[in-house]
Structure 1
Amino acid sequence: MGAEVLRALLGRVRYEVLPAKATQEKVLAHVPRDVVVTVTASPVKGLEPTLGLAERLAAHGYRVVPHVPARLLRDDTHLKEVIERLRTAGVDDVFVPAGDADAPAGVYDGALPVLRRLGELGRPFAHLGITGYPESHPLLHDDITIQAMWDKRAHATYIVSNLCFDARVLGDWIARIRRRDVTLPVHVGVAGPVQRAKLLSMATKIGVGESTRFLTRHPSWFLRFATPGGYVPEKLLDRAAEAFTAPSAGVVGLHVFTFNQIAETERWRRALLDRLG
């Protein structure tokens, strides 16, 4: 990949973090204010840790994108309360996945009804993100996930792709959604420079139920991180150069899954930018 293209992508990153006890301290210590911070939500802990961290980081001057999974919303009143809190905090961008909760907390069992309801409420957020799945979803057929993106395209403003470690698969997926007239800009999801031992430690800290779900649904991720030389972020970026730079690709930046290895991720990004001049 040309240095100019890679440098531009590294300058338009989003760091995904988990709302753990030390996350705020790590973000304040290591993440520049021009880096967008997205905050995940846990089906075990609910939305409160996500909303609280988003409010605090926004107060420190970050552009924050909280995850608002549909299956964690109890009802319409709860949705309106979430909207009010985030708007009061100055948040204008939310990411709306269906969520991994085994049973919905209330009336919303998928992202589309929430997106429609946000439209009925006057589109309170300027930016709305939805999920894309370059690699197969553990529970849904690929055709269903692409159809879902097509259904949501009128309500959302961008797509964040889930983790993918195969440049060919990533390129095929981007081409496939464009053939289906899904024209939303894409933030490509990539893992940062994750150390396996720290990743396992992070998974344990999330909680027993969440860790089990994470491990059983994504076993290949751990194999990628565990194999010597098996995963280096810049290698994936280089191999996916053609997919990212094709005129029709619509790739606007990188969504970096930090797994809360926030200092390590920012050091990697800065070092790579330095090497690129």
Structure 2
Amino acid sequence: MGAAGLGALLESVRYEVLPARATEETVLAHVPRDVVLTVTASPVKGLEPTLDLTGRLTAHGYRVVPHVPARLLRDDVHLKEVVERLRGAGVDDVFVPAGDADPPAGPYDGALPVLRRLTELGGPFARVGITGYPESHPLIHDDLTVQAMWDKQAHADHIVSNLCFDPRVLGEWIARIRRRGITLPLYVGVAGPVQRAKLLAVATRIGVGESTRFLTRHASWFWRFAAPGGYSPDGLLARSERALTAPSAGVAGLHLFTFNQIAETERWRRTLLERFGTAAS
């Protein structure tokens, strides 16, 4: 892998973590303060664990990006309360997906109405992220997901892509959205190093109903994590280097899905950065 381009992306990394009991302790033990953390939200447990962990990690000096799924917001009052709480904690960056809650907790069935409402509220956050889908969304046609990014980009300033394991698909998707005039900087979603048994354990802990949906929609992932030694993203990054580092791609960094294998993910990143540093010298 090329040292300069991919090394820069690994230095502009974001770690997605789940709000579990040991997350705060693990982050403090292993993650440097210059790594951005994003905190997921569960349709089973609601927003409270996300908001609580976000506040605690922010207090420790991390830059934290909470997920605020539209379908978890009960109403406009709830949205305002969430905004006030996050702003009070010093949060200036949020990620607004539609979310998987079914049925939705309130009137917001997609991200766009929430994004528009945030704009109407004066843009309380300096940065707002929206979702991209390099590999097909299980419920939404590809053309609609690309059109949705076009509609949302007036209310956002970056895109976070969902997981992709195919370098050809990833490269074609990046080229496609740029041809469509979607110009927002992109954080490419990549699975961090993880073993299938650990991923299954995480899926079990996030709640029975959500685990069922997770496993149903992402069953093919587990074959990738079943290899001896587990999964590592090295091969994907090596084969995607040109697509990720081309100036026209507009890739701002990597969004690493840690599945709460936080220590393992940071060790993997440090190993690659040290390798690139040796190569560069």
TM-score w.r.t. length of structure 2: 0.97
What is the distance in 1 between the residues matched to 2:9 and 2:92?
22
Quote how far apart the aligned CAs of 1:32 are: 0.4
Quote how far apart the aligned CAs of 1:275 are: 1.4
Quote how far apart the aligned CAs of 1:274 are: 1.2
Aligned to 1:13: 13
Aligned to 2:2: 2
Retained in 1: the 8 A contact 2:193–2:230? no
Retained in 1: the 8 A contact 2:194–2:230? no
Quote how far apart the aligned CAs of 1:247 are: 2.4
| Paired residue secondary structure (1:91) | coil
Give the partner amino acid of 1:147: Q
The aligned runs of 1:162-181 (5 Å cut-off) are 162-181=162-181
What is the distance in 2 between the residues matched to 1:36 and 1:247?
23
Aligned to 2:153: 153
Pair 1:208-2:201 in alignment: no
Aligned to 1:66: 66
Quote how far apart the aligned CAs of 1:228 are: 4.0
Instruction: Work out the number of aligned pairs and report it.
Output: 277
The CA RMSD measured in Å over matched residues stands at 1.0
Aligned to 1:267: 267
Give the partner amino acid of 1:257: F
Instruction: Give the direction of change, closer, same or farther, for the CA distance of 1:112–1:244 in structure 2 (3 Å limit).
Output: same
Aligned to 1:36: 36
What is the distance in 1 between the residues matched to 2:168 and 2:218?
19
What is the distance in 1 between the residues matched to 2:209 and 2:156?
31
Give the partner amino acid of 1:8: A
What is the distance in 2 between the residues matched to 1:116 and 1:207?
31
Aligned to 2:86: 86
What is the distance in 2 between the residues matched to 1:260 and 1:227?
19
Quote how far apart the aligned CAs of 1:272 are: 1.2
What is the distance in 1 between the residues matched to 2:163 and 2:254?
11
Quote how far apart the aligned CAs of 1:229 are: 7.6
Q: Deviations over 1:18-45 (max 9, x none)?
A: 0011111111111100000000000000
Aligned to 1:101: 101
Q: Deviations over 1:93-141 (max 9, x none)?
A: 0000000011110011100000000000000000000000000000000
Quote how far apart the aligned CAs of 1:231 are: 4.0
What is the distance in 2 between the residues matched to 1:2 and 1:163?
22
Quote how far apart the aligned CAs of 1:158 are: 0.2
Give the partner amino acid of 1:99: G
Retained in 1: the 8 A contact 2:195–2:231? no
Instruction: Give the direction of change, closer, same or farther, for the CA distance of 1:95–1:146 in structure 2 (3 Å limit).
Output: same
Quote how far apart the aligned CAs of 1:65 are: 0.1
What is the distance in 2 between the residues matched to 1:118 and 1:36?
22
What is the distance in 2 between the residues matched to 1:174 and 1:229?
30
Give the partner amino acid of 1:174: I
What is the distance in 2 between the residues matched to 1:52 and 1:164?
30
Retained in 1: the 8 A contact 2:68–2:94? yes
Which residues of structure 2 form unaligned runs of 5+?
none
